Amino acid sequence: MNVDDTARLHVAALVSGSVANERIFAYAAPFTWNEVLAALRNIFPDRKLDDDIEGAERSNLIVANERGEQLLRDVWGRSGWTSLEQTIRENVMLA
């Protein structure tokens, strides 16, 4: 979950005339800790990070998040959800 995507969806729900009495999920996709580690390795290629976790599997959970992604496109002109790697990058990089 990206905090900026979540904030954008809150505003989109307020200003969009097409949103009424809906639950909009601000959830891009399931991920594993190995994907987090891979993103961190890309962000910090010179650092030694832990090895992947054996047996880590992506959840089969399906969340109806299409409406949220549609609002990001329609109201904000975005291409969709912010990627996991970009979300991690924004949270670990110092200003």
Closest of 18, 2, 6 to residue 74, by C-alpha: 18
pLDDT surpasses 50 at 95: no
The pTM (predicted TM-score) of the whole model is: 0.84
The pLDDT assigned to 94 comes to 61
**Rg for the chain (alpha carbons), in Å?**
16
pLDDT over 90 (residue 48): yes
What average pLDDT does range 27-33 have in this prediction?
Answer: 91
Q: Is the pLDDT of residue 17 over 60?
A: yes
Which string of b and e fits 26-49 if b means at least 16 CB within 10 Å?
A: bbbeebeebbbbbbbeeeeeeeee
Q: What is the mean pLDDT of residues 15-25?
A: 92
